[in-house]
Structure 1
């Protein structure tokens, strides 16, 4: 094997018989397409959160930017499949990027709970961000350590990448576990709000967007867990179609749905003082419904 290919330097073209780090040559078209999609979503999110002064929603723009960097690395790899910088660039960023999307969802669910009342959740609104973001950070640190160990061994002749890979798998399994707990909390929230019929007006499609985004992120997490558990030469990791469909496409839908149904436009900022005088169950729902109808249809004249 040529030394420059073994070391992953320069930009050598693909050579038949010498496998690339991916197990295939990444698609140039897919790389460009996802760079464009995430780039457009980033621009729209930046305009939207700036216009409505929803600064917390900037996490969606940041996540899109990280996705663009990752897919730029894969686009680079389409021309330079043996370049280790491009490979590490995409693998590190595309693991990190969804964390920004989940952070936005944690905040959004907390806003829903603040709006509809504490009885809709088993946790306080602020705890969602602190607990689950902390879990995400721990997961990313563990994955980064494992990835660093694995990449270091990959550069050696007959290097053992197994320990680093196992650490990466442990990190992503922990992340899947924390997302599973969050999904369980979200399901409990859905059950409580549906039973009390608290969702009204424009909050309904926004709530649906949040559920769709969670599902996409959860599907992606399951895929990445299975992918890494199979190792660097496993079936999923060496077939790009699965990565495009179960990572790239899932993340586009996950963040893009909030371009169409942005919290800045659809989520009321606060409940008026008279609506804060809640009675049990029904009283709370009536207050929210009154607030929603006044926001979108004008003041209630007859209740």
Structure 2
């Protein structure tokens, strides 16, 4: 039977013995849905969805590390891997989500109803996502260095999570303002035929809310610290992190943005407006509409 053990220094990085069965369940779930996303990505060539696939792979690795940690609570590496690889995936999910909104706006021919020009909207939120990613990553690295830096690392992670929450709040506001204006001014529903762009917008609302709730939970977890209830009770991680993130991946899969194209492909080139190739320093996550003519 697994026993909770400290590091050689006497410091406990774990406050419980991680559940092997729970870890295995979510390894299987995330592996399955990530493979499904890989199939969709291959089929439709929607390169801006690559972060979603990478996020799913990180979840799988994170829960493999938790499974391994059941009998290795006295070793630092499994803790570092599971902590980092379950903390960062939502940031990657967000990168793809941000880019979907721009495609929805263009597909609906509603650029004039957006608070921010579509190309600028995409770049602004992706840059914010990059900042959040690196802040959280650096904080997670410090937390793994031991008791002396753990508190500092936790507050840095909190800062990164707050950036993510603020960006999601602004994102949601922009999406809802666009939705309201578009509906209010009765723009023709025929502006985009052949796809349920409105369904994609509702999908964004749903997954954004789930990620927001998860991020708020993580802020509470880190603010309460090592002696707080969330850090000492494993079930909170699964209910407020693992389950919501799995649902996010499932919902995004079934409402995959494979048909979000403007009606006139000759005059509306989404890749030129939303592509990140003109933004120095950011990995090119999006390569345009290669899925033209393909069906779900």
Confirm or deny a common fold (TM above 0.5): yes
- Name the residue aligned to 2:19: 27
CA apart distance, 1:132: 1.8
Instruction: Write the mapping of 1:34-183 to structure 2, written as runs, cut at 5 A.
Output: 34-116=26-108, 117-154=110-147, 159=148, 161-183=150-172
Structure 1: where are the runs of 5+ without partners?
9-17, 277-294, 296-303
Provide the TM-score with structure 2 as the length reference: 0.79
Whole-Å separation in 2 of the counterparts to 1:31 and 1:221 = 21
The alpha-carbon distance between structure 1 residues 272 and 241, as it changes in their structure 2 partners (threshold 3 A), is: same
User: Take 2:41 and 2:184, find their aligned partners in 1: how far apart are those partners?
Assistant: 32
CA distance in 2, matches of 1:62, 1:30: 22
Task: Tell me how far apart the structure 1 counterparts of residues 265 and 158 of structure 2 sit (CA, whole Å).
Answer: 49
- Structure with higher Rg: it is 1
How many angstroms apart in 2 are the aligned matches of 1:79 and 1:129? 44
Aligned twin of 2:273: none
Equivalents in 2 of 1:102, 1:87: separation in Å? Answer: 25
1:45 touches 1:58 (CA, 8 Å); kept in 2? no
Q: Provide the C-alpha distance between the structure 2 equivalents of 1:262 and 1:165, rounded to a whole number of angstroms.
A: 34
Q: Tell me, which stretches of 5 or more residues in structure 2 are unaligned?
A: 269-292
CA contact (8 A) 2:104 2:200 kept: no
Q: What TM-score comes out, normalization by structure 1 length?
A: 0.77
Distance 1:135 1:66 in 2: 20
Cα RMSD of the aligned pairs, angstroms, is 2.5
Q: CA deviation at 1:235?
A: 1.1
Aligned equivalent of 2:249: 255
* 1:292 aligned partner: none
Quote the Cα distance in structure 2 between the aligned partners of 1:57 and 1:122: 24
Structure 1 or 2: more helix by fraction:
1
1:218 aligns with 2:212: yes
- Give the Å deviation of 1:20: 4.9
Aligned length: 259
> Which secondary structure does the structure 1 equivalent of 2:169 belong to?
helix
Deviation at 1:251, TM superposition (A): 0.5
Q: What CA distance in whole angstroms lies between the structure 2 residues aligned with 1:160 and 1:43?
A: 37
Give the C-alpha shift of residue 141 in structure 1. Answer: 2.1
